A = this chain, B = another copy of it.
């Protein structure tokens, strides 16, 4: 349930290792300082206001005075976990601060009963096509976390053609359709120069089906050469064109991304520094392909959290992603995740993502 492949630092007794601290001092922070950080993060996530030492001390969990908290905050700031927006304001967590929080305090894996129930109800319901299920899952996750959510479909690469056919829509317009093993359907329109008769289309469809059935969608089916004896050159030619059209399209076909709750980004606009950040993010989402590539990296980990500057993409510098892969049958499926401002309730997001990924995987595999 932890994120990243980092040794889990000890919190009790021994000093917490500030492994990523930018300071060259190699200083560590102790247990109470970590608790202060925790209090600051929780408070800041709740209120969006810089948190002062008095607030933390008054909360009373630590049993120390505000002066002591102040001293700890000074250290936490020196070590890069907190920053002050300006002198005489409270402190705000840095990306590094969130990272420590996530690694130490967000990983207890408690899933709220309400979340668990909502997920169960959702997956108990009927869903038709794969696309619908994934799409609705993204909305479920958005509802649970109150952030935008993504569901990346199973990778297209592993799909195999289960059926292929050519259908006449209009006299000169044909549709080439391939049903893939992952439940998706590839289609391509084919416009002809002259009318074709039904028999030729049917023959071509049969040729195409025979040639493509069972073929992997990548390393695509070789177009059947002018085969089939000299029987029907027109049909054979048509089948070849159909195969080519499919191959050209399927080859560059990226995994589909379903985004739910993108509207929440508008509400989160105030959490971003640049005024057009939310707009840029929405644009990024609209370019599905580019967006999918940003989510792909997770595959091995259980749940991965990427906080602010840990993201490479410029647009995501002020965002956090909580991602988890889900299995599909015995192989790997896709990814589900949540993204919002770094000021995010990581515990809730982690719990929701984990449980949804797990249930979605079971649903798709069972």
A residues at B contact (CB < 8 Å): 128-130, 139, 162-163, 165, 167-170, 173, 175, 177, 179, 181-183, 185, 187-189, 245, 249, 260-267, 269, 276, 278-283, 285-286, 329
Contacts and interface: CB of A to CB of B under 8 A. Distances in A.
A136 to B, nearest CB: 12
A201 to B, nearest CB: 10
B266 A279 contact: yes
A194 to B, nearest CB: 15
B179 A179 contact: no
Contact of A286 (B187, B262, B269, B279): B262
Nearest to A138: B286
A169 B183 contact: yes
A169 B162 contact: yes
A61 to B, nearest CB: 35
B262 A187 contact: no
Contacts of A167: 162-163, 179
A286 B260 CA distance: 8
Contacts of A329: 170
A260 to B, nearest CB: 7
Nearest to A265: B266
Contacts of A170: 181, 329
B266 A189 contact: no
A117 to B, nearest CB: 24
A169 B162 CA distance: 7
A315 B130 CA distance: 31
Nearest to A283: B263
B169 A181 contact: yes
Chief secondary structure at chain A's binding surface? mixed
A217 to B, nearest CB: 14
Copies of this chain present in the complex amount to 2
Given A128-B188, A269-B266, A276-B267, A165 B168 contact: no
11 contacts: A165-B179, A183-B187, A183-B189, A185-B185, A185-B187, A261-B286, A263-B283, A263-B285, A266-B266, A266-B278, A266-B279
Contact of A129 (B162, B188, B263, B278): B188
A129 B187 contact: yes
B183 A249 contact: no
B269 A269 contact: yes
B264 A279 contact: yes
Contacts of A276: 266-267
**Top 4 nearest A-B pairs by Cβ distance?**
A263-B282, A266-B279, A163-B167, A263-B283
Nearest to A266: B279
A282 B262 CA distance: 8
A13 B139 CA distance: 58
A129 B279 contact: no
A276 B283 CA distance: 19
Contact of A189 (B129, B188, B278): B129
Contact of A130 (B189, B262, B269, B282): B189
Nearest to A184: B187
Contacts of A173: 183
A164 to B, nearest CB: 10
A266 B281 CA distance: 10
